[in-house]
Each structure stands twice: as structure tokens, then as C-alpha cells.
């Protein structure tokens, strides 16, 4: 196990409550309450807890249009309102969204800056070739991966992972960031923000023909970002072997060629079999094994790994998955290889072979 990981949290994550405007909204404070209770029972796994700061306007504005930032702030100040049919802002939502994005930024700073402070190479490199990557988890809400540059949607106000990735590039000397998104919903916001960028590799495993209706297999980005988007849609009811095979046989080879200096995971757990929204059959141990694969990629690339909470709407399953992911990132267990899936893996490799040189 690694010496310690970092947990970023903030009380405002308990105060954003869409259910005030949309009764029985699934993205509720119960999610964080369940995670906190499970972590406390496990003595926080020995990880260091840190308070998430609010994101600055400059950090948000690198990714989001000022008009969106102002609209979310104004709506909260006015007492709340609906941004779309399922995205609510309450009086405390702007503060929670600032800390969710700010916590992701603080996580990235903490993962990257110790090396620079010690006079060692920055941007995720490490002198210890076989050391486990430094790891952390931003356990904050609201989630972010649906938020586009100019639009909040899908429970998301600001795009926490995108804001953090852009911070790493703009301020911390990082040239290449991998964002692996395993939420059951496609992270349309992250994909669009980095669509034409060559410095961010965005890989998403998600249920196809599902909300928000984006992320087809043949969308590989555009312009300078052609080949820097890997969309891996799967069918409803798919289990963990399919998801793990896509990570092992598609994402990892592509990411290895890309050689990221920072790895971020948009860690949604709504593909879990117990989740009421996802309609997939992934188990807790499958998420743990995907995290082990990411950990080993970080070890090979000497890149730190930061997980940022996205979806997951069955509180107990969500808490179990967060703890299992944290344990895996800290060094628990070894990845268990799975064979290529004859449908989804082979289809992806047939498309991505020319871009990444991965033999189908």
C-alpha cells in the first residue's frame, strides 16, 4: 500500500439539495452521507483529509463562459431555480459547485506540486520508477461531466474534471492529461470542451443510446484533437467483464502511447448493478479492478492519479465502490486480466487501430 492518499471534501456538498425543487431527485446529499459514513467506519483508510477550497473565477473561466458562471451564481442568490428539467440550483448550490470544482483543482495541485517543491521533476514524473503513483479522491458534489462550456445540464453545474485538467495544463506545466470516465452516462461536457485539443485524451465507457445521447463509437474528436477522444458505448445490461476488457485492451494501450503526465478518473458508479438509473451489471469488484489497471498505468507513466466523484445513485453501493476504488489506488490487489470482448472490444479496436497503432 502507498503511504497515504488524499481526500478532498467540504460541508457544502451536504447542502446542495436538488430535491427542494425536484422531489425525490436522485442526486441528493444522501450520496455524500453514505460515503462519509463508510469512510469514517474504515478510519478514512488512513488517507489524509483536506478541506476543498472554492474554485476561483479564473479557474472556472478557463473552461466555462462567464455568462454561465454568472447565471448559476445569480440563480442561487435569487433563491434557486431550474436550469433544465433535471438540473436544479438552490440557495446553497453555487457554493457547493465552487467547492466541487475547487476541490478537484486542489487535488491536482496536491498531486503534482510536491515533486516541484522538493526540487524533483514536475508534471507527474517521479524518480522512483516502480513506486505507486500518488493518489487522491475529490469526494464532492454536484457532479460535473455533463456541464459544457456554456451550459449546465444533467445534474452538473460546472465541469469539475475539465476545470482541474485545464488548471494542470495552464499552471502546473502538464502537457498531457488522461481523463478516463467510467460513469454510465457519456460525459458530453468533457468531450466537447476538449474535442479539438491534442493535450487531453478523453476516454469514456458508457451506456450507448442513453442520456445524454452522445458519445458514439465513431466520434474520435476533431481537428487537433482527432484521435484524442475514445468513445466506448456499451449496451444496457452489460457486466463488468465488458467494462474491464475495454479498459485493459483499448484504453490502456491508447493511454500508454499518449504517455499522460496526469491521470484523472471521472469516477461515476451508476453502472453498478444496484443503481436505479444505470441499467448495467457492473459489480463493486469490477470498479476496483479498473482502478487497479489505472493505478498500474500511473505507475508505468509515473503519473499521479486523481479520482473525481461523478454519478452513482444507490448510496450503499456508491459508498462501497468509492472505498474499493480508493483501496485499489492505494495498492490493494493486482489487476486481473480479462479476454477481449468479441463485440465491444473488437469493434473499438477495429476503429482505433489506425489512430493508435493497436492491433485489432
Kindly give, in sequence order, each residue whose CB lies less than 8 Å from that of residue 75, ignoring residues fewer than 6 positions away. 81, 83, 89, 93, 94
Could you give the CA distance from residue 226 to residue 355 in angstroms, rounded to a whole number? 9
Q: How far is CA 303 from CA 101, 128, 300, 306, in A?
A: 21, 11, 8, 10
DSSP secondary structure letters along 170-184: HHS----EEEEE-SS
* Beta strands across the sheet bearing 305-309: 48-51, 6-9, 135-138, 305-309, 262-267, 177-181, 200-207, 229-234
Could you give the CA distance from residue 278 to residue 46 in angstroms, rounded to a whole number? 31
Q: Tally the residues of the chain.
A: 360
Q: Is 56 helix (H, G, I), strand (E, B) or coil?
A: coil
Decide if 322 contacts 151 (C-beta within 8 A). Answer: no
Which stretches within 8-119 are classed as H helix?
A: 30-41, 57-61, 66-77, 93-117
Q: Which one is catalytic: 99, 146, 185, 272?
A: 146
The reply to whether 146 belongs to the active site is yes
Grid cell of 84 as nine digits: 433544465
Q: How far is CA 122 from CA 102, 112, 114, 257, 355, in A?
A: 21, 6, 8, 20, 29
Could you give the CA distance from residue 24 to residue 313 in angstroms, rounded to a whole number? 11
Q: How far is CA 215 from CA 46, 113, 239, 306, in A?
A: 37, 33, 19, 23
Q: Which residues pair with 231 in a beta bridge?
A: 204
Decide if 238 contacts 217 (C-beta within 8 A). Answer: no
Decide if 86 contacts 24 (C-beta within 8 A). Answer: no
Q: Which residue numbers are catalytic? A: 146
Amino acid at each position: 500500500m502507498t503511504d497515504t492518499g488524499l481526500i478532498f471534501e467540504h460541508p457544502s456538498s451536504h447542502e446542495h439539495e436538488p430535491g427542494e425543487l425536484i422531489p425525490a431527485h436522485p442526486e441528493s446529499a444522501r450520496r455524500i452521507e453514505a460515503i462519509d459514513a463508510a469512510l469514517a467506519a474504515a478510519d478514512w483508510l488512513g488517507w489524509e483529509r483536506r478541506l476543498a477550497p472554492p474554485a476561483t473565477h479564473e479557474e472556472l473561466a478557463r473552461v466555462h463562459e462567464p455568462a454561465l458562471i454568472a447565471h448559476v451564481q445569480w440563480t442561487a442568490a435569487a433563491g434557486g431555480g431550474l436550469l433544465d428539467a433535471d438540473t436544479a440550483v438552490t440557495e446553497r448550490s453555487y457554493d457547493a459547485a465552487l467547492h466541487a470544482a475547487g476541490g478537484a483543482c486542489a487535488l491536482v495541485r496536491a498531486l503534482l506540486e510536491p515533486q516541484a517543491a522538493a526540487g524533483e521533476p514536475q508534471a507527474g514524473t517521479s524518480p522512483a520508477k516502480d513506486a505507486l503513483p500518488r493518489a487522491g479522491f475529490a469526494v464532492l458534489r454536484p457532479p460535473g461531466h455533463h456541464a459544457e462550456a456554456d451550459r449546465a445540464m444533467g445534474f452538473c453545474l460546472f465541469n469539475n474534471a475539465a476545470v482541474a485538467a485545464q488548471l494542470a495544463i495552464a499552471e502546473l506545466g502538464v502537457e498531457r492529461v488522461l481523463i478516463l470516465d467510467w460513469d454510465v452516462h457519456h460525459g458530453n461536457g468533457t468531450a466537447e470542451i476538449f474535442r479539438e485539443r491534442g493535450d487531453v485524451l478523453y476516454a469514456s465507457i458508457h451506456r450507448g443510446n442513453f442520456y445524454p445521447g452522445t458519445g458514439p463509437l465513431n466520434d474520435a474528436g476533431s481537428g487537433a484533437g482527432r484521435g484524442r477522444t475514445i468513445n466506448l458505448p456499451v449496451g444496457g445490461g452489460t457486466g463488468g467483464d465488458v467494462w474491464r476488457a475495454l479498459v485493459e485492451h483499448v484504453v490502456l494501450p491508447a493511454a500508454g502511447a499518449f504517455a499522460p503526465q496526469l491521470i484523472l478518473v471521472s469516477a461515476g458508479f451508476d453502472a453498478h448493478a444496484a443503481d436505479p438509473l444505470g441499467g448495467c451489471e457492473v459489480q463493486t469488484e469490477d470498479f476496483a479492478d479498473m482502478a487497479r489497471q489505472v493505478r498500474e498505468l500511473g505507475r508505468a507513466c509515473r503519473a499521479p492519479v486523481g479520482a473525481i466523484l461523478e454519478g452513482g445513485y444507490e448510496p450503499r453501493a456508491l459508498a462501497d465502490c468509492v472505498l474499493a476504488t480508493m483501496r485499489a489506488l492505494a495498492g490493494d490487489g493486482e489487476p486481473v486480466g480479462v479476454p477481449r470482448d468479441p463485440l465491444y472490444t473488437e469493434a473499438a479496436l477495429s476503429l482505433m487501430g489506425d489512430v493508435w497503432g493497436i492491433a485489432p
